[in-house]
Structure formats: structure tokens, C-alpha cells
Structure 1
Amino acid sequence: MSTVENIVLLGKGLLGSNVLPALVDAGFKVTILGRSENSKHGLPAGVKFGIVDYNSIDSLEAALRGQDAIVSTVGMEAIPGQKLIIDAAIKAGIKRFIPSDFGALTTDPNASHFPHHLGMIDIQKYLHAKADAGLIEYTILSIGAFTEFLGSDLLIDWQHKRAEIWGGGRALVSTTSLAATGKAVASALRNLKATKNRNIFVHEYAVSQEQYLDMARRHVKPETKWSVVKIEDVETELERRAGVLREQGDMVSIFSLIKGTLLSGRYNSHYKHTDNSLVGLRELSEAEFEAKGGGNLGPAILHALLHHSYFNTTVLSREGSSSTFPLGVKVLRANYNSIDSLKTALRGQDVVVSLVAGSALGDQKTLIDAAIAAGVKRFLPSEFGSNTTDARTRAIVPMYESKVETVNYLKSKESEISWTSIVTGPFFDWGLKVGFLGFDAANKVATLYENGTAKFSSTNLQTIGLAVVKALESAEATENQYVFVSGFQTSQKQILEVAEKVTGSKWTVRNASVDDAIKKGNEKILRGDFSGIEDLILGAKFGPKQLGDLSLVGLWNEELNLVETDIETSVTAAFAGRLVYEVTISD
């Protein structure tokens, strides 16, 4: 068989939810099987669904007819039941089966005796026998530890600032994110010949406990104290944990032994030779592994919540998203189109800070409804920009209507949830860094609108993050309020003076008209080029009506005790390609 197109995915849990979008993105026709209609909710467009009786080979065979391959991501309790699925797959003519394995050590012969591996090893042997008989093909993927779990008391316990260091903590552990695992699965099915009847070893990075703890310490306040326990007699501790598992057999003892086998350095936890090239998976550098993800505003706000507050912060990300986040931060995945999925993820949270962008701005009602259903107390909508309360601004940038509609919806729900909408003006350091504010640092060219004299408010991303923290700390004062903050009350002309000072050069000045910018923006949008929105924003910001000056509506800076970095430092950082809070981190 040279290609497969029709894929059955079994299991829609944490791993399955990351494999599914990868299969869809790779162009496969995907069918999800479930025991009831409840498993059907939240599926992407084009994904089929079928009900099946997992205890009936006839029901399974009927559901699998016409399919080419099966990807199983079922949970541990359902692993033994894969034998019946394999038998049904053979009867239905399925050619490739990827079992629910995805372990770090399940194919290491030296670790085969551990109780938590026995079920998966049994399935491996069953597949080997069927493949040897020419009845079906298989691919087993070993991916190391899931990156998302490393800080959840695996390498360290981020929440409680504890670390259980095994044998000095220098043993390397291969690790792969859930999203990358999904992509590896999809790529394996696109490379059938090379992955036929093989155990594929992949990882994005290999990290030790010692290294991971050092990284974690860089992402908390310097005075944070960690409780470190050292396990020197590794063999004795492994034997003890294996005995506990045999006696108790619960998930706590299973996880305890998994942790020990991974970190002991006695087994093949580190894949020295990988098959990444077979599935197109790139290894990460240390900086990439430690890096933040999720846009420009999100990391800045997250950094402020982690380093300048005592809030317990959780990141909510879309199912299948490949975004990465700071080490140790708890990340929950949810289907943003499903209230039930969002409600489950938000349960137990007090505040939601929404940072959705673009077309998703109008979809915040679902998020708000889920927050209300989950008992969330405060919702901060995705505002953080121009003064959308001014109808004149919305007349120039009609896309801002969705932001106003979101706040109006929140106002209608004030008996069930409170809100705070933070308005900041354009992001100052980011805007200079990418050239959004009219300054091309590489070529030392400034584009000034209407001679650059219009006063406008602008705020560094670091200060926006601090504004979120301060607004939450002043929850009573900011309840059901628009909160206007500004890092700088400035003009393009003033920024040019600073730019020439910090660069020591005379800049070329090009004059531009806001009317032309607005006309150009509208023409772009009519052609389907939505970069025209940026032209509209500039047209509103730099015009003679001073629509960008937030001081005219009253600033909260003093009440929130916000102090901005001086403008020369901010400009210098931006022209060096850095954000102010990134300079703070490195220094």
C-alpha cells in the first residue's frame, strides 16, 4: 500500500485532541469512533463520527470497513482491548495500526518487567505476530515524556516548588510536546514505507532534571525557595516503588514508578539516535525549548502575572495549538467552539484574561458564557489598544465594533460576572520594533503623518502586563470599568528626536497623509488584504482629531501606581530588536 487517506482515530482525550488536528491539517479524511453521541461534540468540520460497540468484533469490523489505517490514543485502562480492535481491523482490511503506546521506555527490553509496561508490551507482541503473518502493518512511536507534563511533578513540581532529584539529576530525558506528537503521527502515515513495522524514536529536546530546574529558577522571583530532595540509592528506590505498584495498582503508584524509571538514568530515557527525519520533526535548541509562545502581548502579560504577582496562573490554549509556554506553567487545552469544553477547563478559576485576536474577537461570547457557567468572577476582554469607546475611532476602523459588542454583552451579564476592559494605545516597544509606528530603524527612515505633531498614547508591553496585574489587585475599583492607561504621551515628532539621539544619526523623513492612509487601508480590505487594518489604525491614531490621546478621557496610571520605562531606554531596546521586558529578563 503506497498511501493511506482514510484514518480512524480512537480516543479523544488529551493526546487524541492533539493528534486529530494534525491529521486534518495533513489532509487525511478522519473518522472518530465513540460509544455514544456524547463523543461527537466539538469535532472539526469534515471529521466524521461513528458509534461502535468496543466489545463486539462485528460492530468494530462494520465501523472500520473502508478505512485505511487506525491511530489509537485510548487511555491506559483500554489498552488491553486493542487486541479485539486489531482483530476487527484485520477483518475489515485495515493496513496500518498505530497502537496507544507513545511511551518513553515501553520498547526498552531492560524496562519490560515493570508492571505499568506489561499491557503495552502485550499489544506490541500481538502486533508483531500479526505483522509477521502478513495480516497488518504497524508503527510504534516512542516520544519520550510529554513536554507539557515535565513541571507537573515529573522533572520538578512547579506548583509546590519542589524537586526530587535522582542520582544527581544529570540523566537526560527525551521529551516531545503533544502537538509535535500529533504531527509525528500524521507524518508517519505519509511515509508508510519507511515507518512500516518499526519502532520510531522521536524527540524535540533532551533535558536533565538539573538543567530543567535551572531553567525554572530563571522564571520565578529570585527569592523563591525550592525544596530539593536527593535520591542517591536509585536501584533500591526503584524496587520499592515497583513493589508499591504491585500492591496498590493505583494511578499514584503508576506515576511514581514512571517518574523513577525515566529519571534514574538506568534505562533508555534519552534517545541518542532519533528517527526525526522520517517524520519531519525538528529538534529544538535550548532557547526554543525554554521559549514562550502565543503572540507578543500574551507572553508579556503572562510574564507580569508570573513575576509581579502572587496569582496562580493557568494558560488556556486551543486544542491542537503548537504554542509553547514558560517552564512549569500549567496549560489547559480546550475546544474554543465548545462551551462544555471551555467550562471544564475554566472550572476553579477566578479570572479570565482574554487575548484572542483577529477574527476570534467576535467569538468571545462563547468564552464569556463558559466562564459564567464555570463560576468565574471577572472577565477581561481582548481590548488592549485603541479607544474603541469613541464612535469616531470605530467609524474609521469598523472592525472595532466587535470589541464594543463584547463589552456590551458583558454589561448585560453583570449580575453573573464582572468585567474590566483595559485600553492602552498601541504597543510602544513592539510597534517600534516591527516598524508599525512609522519608524524603519534599519534604514533610518521615519514616515510622519501630518508632520508627526499629533499627540497619542502608547504603552510598552511590560507595562500593559503590569496594568493587568494592578487592575486585578484593585478589583473593586476596576469592577465593570474601562481602564485607560498610557506609558507615554508622545508624538511621532518627539519619537524622531529620540531616535536620532540614540542612533547618533540624522534620519530621512517622509511625510504622509492620514486621509491617504485610510483610503489605502479601505482599498486593501476590499481586495481581501486585511493588512489594510493597520493603515486604518494609523489613520485614526495620527490624525488632527487626537483620537489616539487617551489622557483626554482620563488615565488610571496614578490609581494603579504604574510607572513607565523612560522613552530613550524603550526606543533603544526596540531598535535593537528587543522588547523592554526581554531586556529586563536578560539583565
Structure 2
Amino acid sequence: MPKYAKNQPVNFKNGVERVAIIGAGGTIGSHIAKALLKTGRHTVTALSRKGSGNTFPEGVLVASIDYDDETTIVAALKGQQFLIITMAPTAPRDTHSKLVQAASKAGVPYVMPNGYAGDIDNIKLGEDTLLGPIAKANRDEIERLGMQWITVCCGFWYDYSLAGGDARFGFDFDKRSLTIYDDGSTKSSTSTLAQVGRAVAKVLSLKEFPEDENDSSLTLSTFLNKAVYLKSFVVSQNDMFESVKRVTGTTDADWMITHENTKKRYEDGLAQVKVGNMAGFSKMLYARAFYPDDSNNLSAKTQNELLELPDESLDESTQAGIDLVKELQLRVERMAA
């Protein structure tokens, strides 16, 4: 049965006001937190390990938790309407489940699970990158515990991936080298960190339910147990390289360029992962998304217009990526994952 605002209890407010974020000081979490605060509609609470030295965007409230003491997580989530989970791939495997179970006990109705990239409907891509089955299990657990989820399918984060070294988009700005997958012409979906933040804030700023059966406006309930699809650019490595050259004022002659077979690169990365060398994970993940016959191209599904997301400048986003290089190099765990 469809839910309408008119049928809710007397004091019901038709919107999400209280949002908790895991990783609000991290790569994507900080952008989501800033975008939510910018709307003026939300109170944002960061759940943070006791003693953590993380810094958070101005205006974020902080609740200390102990992952080994569920009562602290439940207490921090009491009264929250939406839990957003953003975690590094190096986080302990059981962390997601601990958070979701605590959210259920705290009465949180909605969860955005950890996972911001590939198309959840592309089962083969998910299996090949090893991320699909984990993400599916996370979503299933949320449903099994009586909550509902909204996940984000945005392709790779453009600025972050450009800055992240050879294993991601192939660029090493310190060495001024580029590894091109195949001929570099396969296009894949990407989104800037800021665009992901805007999209999440837009969805969480919608009315929770239609007012009544005559209300056809977009609501949060439209997206429940579904993915939000968005993009900034659908680009090839060649497209990125042209932008990089424009931004840096360089030419082909200034770069050391090598080519590598995408499928071989994927297999090499997977072989590393299988023997416990997680340095191969990014190599495997990114190569797989540029398979010529099955790239991570979300063009047909993106909801940018529906969410009124702005068009962005590729060159400005490339500059933002280059500006991120030094910051990411200081975060060893990110570069190794």
C-alpha cells in the first residue's frame, strides 16, 4: 500500500531532518555532510570512534561510539531518521553489519549502505570486481532487519580517481606517466565528489511521502530499495588525457605513455588480490570498468535532470583532481587499497 503524508500521525513532519553519517570526515562522507548542511534542512551527526582524530565539516555534530560496544552505537543513532555509511575498503568486514544492526535497534528507518560506484543491476561486473556480492548482502541485511535502503550508482569518483595514481585512471602526475587501457577510447561513467554530495542532499531533501493520492511530485519514497543513478561525465582515458593536457599546458611529448591490455591488467590485479596483495585491487577494479564490451557506462539510467543536478566543467574537475594528488599521497591506506 502506498504511504501518504495525510495518513501519518498528527505531529508527523514530511521530510528527513536528522541524518547520521559514518565517515563524515572522509573522502565522500565530507562532501555529503557539507551538501546536506548547505540545504539548511538537516541536522548532521558524525558517528566517530572514541579518541579518533578525524576532523569534520563545520556544523557537524559528533557522537562518540565504540564499535565493540553496540550500546554506544544504538545510543548515537536514537532519533536519527537516516544513516549514511561511508567507509574505506580497509575497514573490518563486520563493521557494516554492526552498524546496520544497531540502526535497526535504534529505530532508524532508512540506510544508505557503503557502496558508491557500479551499477547494482550489472551482476557480472559486480562479481568480477568482488564488490557486488558484498553490496547485495549489505542491502539484504538492511531489508531483513525491517529497514529500507537507498544506494548510489555514480561510477568512479572522477577527481579522486584521477588523483589516485597509476592503478586507477592510469595517471601518475609526479612521474608524468600514463598507462592507457587498450586504445583508451572506452567510456566509463564518473562523478565528482561534489556531484555525489549534491545528489544525496537532493534526495534527502525531498518530501518523505506524497501528500495524498493526487500528489505526483518526486519524493524520498520514490527511491526506497532502489539506486539513485547520477553522473558528472562519461569519459574515456583519451578524453581525460586531453583535459589534463589543457589544464597542465602539456603535450603528448611531455608524457611517458604505455598501453596495456585491459583484460590482462584485470587478471594481473585479481591474481595479486588472491594472494592477499591488496595493491592489485584498484588495478583490477578500474581495468574491469573499462572493458570495451562491458564498461561501467550508466548513461541510459542517470537521473541528473530528475534531481536537477548541474552540468560541470571537465577541465575544472580535472584541476580539482590534480589538486588532490598530494592530499591522497599522505593517506597511505587509500593509496594501498
- Whether the TM-score (by the shorter chain) exceeds 0.5 is yes
In 2, Cα distance between the equivalents of 1:495 and 1:417? 40
1:512 pairs with 233, 250, 260, which one? 260
C-alpha contact 1:463 1:564 (8 A) present in aligned 2? no
In 1, Cα distance between the equivalents of 2:244 and 2:235? 13
CA displacement at 1:516 relative to structure 2: 1.9
C-alpha contact 1:467 1:562 (8 A) present in aligned 2? yes
Percent identity (aligned): 26
Within a 5 Å distance, the mapping from 1:4-83 to structure 2 comes to: none
In 2, Cα distance between the equivalents of 1:387 and 1:319? 35
> For residue 281 of structure 2, what is the aligned residue in structure 1?
533
Q: Which amino acid is the alignment partner of residue 379 of structure 1?
A: V
C-alpha contact 2:84 2:112 (8 A) present in aligned 1? yes
Please state whether the residue corresponding to 2:126 is helix, strand or coil: helix
Please state whether the residue corresponding to 1:543 is helix, strand or coil: coil
User: Is 1:391 the counterpart of 2:123 in the alignment?
Assistant: yes
* Cα offsets for 1:490-547 (capped at 9, x unmatched): 1111111112222221133211111221222122223321121101111211111233
> For residue 113 of structure 2, what is the aligned residue in structure 1?
381
* Cα offsets for 1:184-207 (capped at 9, x unmatched): xxxxxxxxxxxxxxxxxxxxxxxx
Unpaired runs of at least 5, structure 2: 1-22, 207-219, 327-337
> For residue 191 of structure 2, what is the aligned residue in structure 1?
459
In 2, Cα distance between the equivalents of 1:382 and 1:577? 22
Please state whether the residue corresponding to 2:54 is helix, strand or coil: coil
Flag the 1:540–1:402 CA change in 2: closer, same or farther, 3 A: same
In 2, Cα distance between the equivalents of 1:334 and 1:300? 22
C-alpha contact 1:301 1:465 (8 A) present in aligned 2? yes
1:347 pairs with 78, 82, 94, which one? 78
Flag the 1:442–1:293 CA change in 2: closer, same or farther, 3 A: farther
In 2, Cα distance between the equivalents of 1:530 and 1:388? 23
Please state whether the residue corresponding to 1:550 is helix, strand or coil: coil
Please state whether the residue corresponding to 2:47 is helix, strand or coil: strand
> For residue 216 of structure 2, what is the aligned residue in structure 1?
none
Q: Which has the higher contact order (CA 8 A, sep 6+)?
A: 2
* Cα offsets for 1:79-126 (capped at 9, x unmatched): xxxxxxxxxxxxxxxxxxxxxxxxxxxxxxxxxxxxxxxxxxxxxxxx
* Cα offsets for 1:534-572 (capped at 9, x unmatched): 0111121111123310124x1121111111421011112
> For residue 366 of structure 1, what is the aligned residue in structure 2?
98
In 2, Cα distance between the equivalents of 1:430 and 1:356? 15
Q: Which amino acid is the alignment partner of residue 289 of structure 2?
A: K
In 2, Cα distance between the equivalents of 1:488 and 1:469? 20
Q: Which runs of 4+ in 1 moved over 4 A?
A: none
Please state whether the residue corresponding to 2:264 is helix, strand or coil: helix
User: Is 1:295 the counterpart of 2:43 in the alignment?
Assistant: no
CA displacement at 1:346 relative to structure 2: 0.4
CA displacement at 1:384 relative to structure 2: 0.9
> For residue 221 of structure 2, what is the aligned residue in structure 1?
476
User: Is 1:547 the counterpart of 2:288 in the alignment?
Assistant: no
* Cα offsets for 1:385-405 (capped at 9, x unmatched): 122432211232124321111
> For residue 521 of structure 1, what is the aligned residue in structure 2?
269
Please state whether the residue corresponding to 2:223 is helix, strand or coil: coil
> For residue 323 of structure 2, what is the aligned residue in structure 1?
576
CA displacement at 1:440 relative to structure 2: 2.2
In 2, Cα distance between the equivalents of 1:422 and 1:309? 22
In 2, Cα distance between the equivalents of 1:578 and 1:311? 31
> For residue 494 of structure 1, what is the aligned residue in structure 2?
239
Flag the 1:479–1:293 CA change in 2: closer, same or farther, 3 A: closer
Please state whether the residue corresponding to 2:199 is helix, strand or coil: helix
Please state whether the residue corresponding to 1:476 is helix, strand or coil: helix
C-alpha contact 1:309 1:469 (8 A) present in aligned 2? no
Q: Which amino acid is the alignment partner of residue 296 of structure 2?
A: G
In 2, Cα distance between the equivalents of 1:322 and 1:331? 12
Within a 5 Å distance, the mapping from 1:433-444 to structure 2 comes to: 433-435=163-165, 436-444=168-176
Flag the 1:407–1:293 CA change in 2: closer, same or farther, 3 A: closer
Please state whether the residue corresponding to 1:559 is helix, strand or coil: coil
User: Is 1:559 the counterpart of 2:306 in the alignment?
Assistant: yes
TM-score of the pair, normalised by structure 2: 0.78
> For residue 334 of structure 1, what is the aligned residue in structure 2?
65
Unpaired runs of at least 5, structure 1: 1-291, 580-587
Between stretches 456-465 and 537-546, larger displacement belongs to 537-546
Flag the 1:494–1:468 CA change in 2: closer, same or farther, 3 A: same
TM-score of the pair, normalised by structure 1: 0.46
Q: Kindly name which structure, 1 or 2, has the bigger radius of gyration based on alpha carbons.
A: 1
CA displacement at 1:422 relative to structure 2: 0.8
2:138 pairs with 401, 406, 413, which one? 406
